[in-house]
Amino acid sequence: MSIYEITIVLTYYMITTLSTIGFGDFYPRTSKERIFISITILFGVAIFAIIKKIFSNILLQFESLNNDFDEGERLSYFHTLLRRYNCD
């Protein structure tokens, strides 16, 4: 196989491994391949965990902004009630 074909096969194999599909049409046959794939799987899990943490932080920040907005609405409502009772 040429370098180009090997690159395509490795890319395909990494994508199927990282997405946990693992069709089984390509699998490690030697110890070196098994070590390489084990490391790839570990890095894939770590990368997925990092992406999940970043996404969770984004959601928490968005929720925090919404909570601040809700607090502002409550405060505005409270001030409106105070004005209404002070004017009467």
Give the domain ranges of the chain: 3-87
Q: Is residue 88's pLDDT more than 60?
A: no
**Mean pLDDT of the residues in the chain:** 77
Q: What is the pLDDT of residues 36-62, one digit of tens each?
A: 877 887 888 888 889 889 888 888 887
pTM: 0.48
Name residues whose C-beta falls within 8 Å of residue 41's C-beta, 6 or more positions apart in sequence. Answer: 17, 18
Rounded Cα distance between 27 and 33, Å, is 9
Choose which CATH entry (1.10.287.70, 2.170.120.20, 3.40.47.10, 1.10.10.10) describes domain 3-87. Answer: 1.10.287.70
* Residues 16, 22 contacting (CB under 8 angstroms): yes
Q: Is residue 20 helix, strand or coil? A: coil
Q: Which tokens in the block code for residue 75?
A: 């405060």
Q: Which tokens in the block code for residue 50?
A: 């990092």
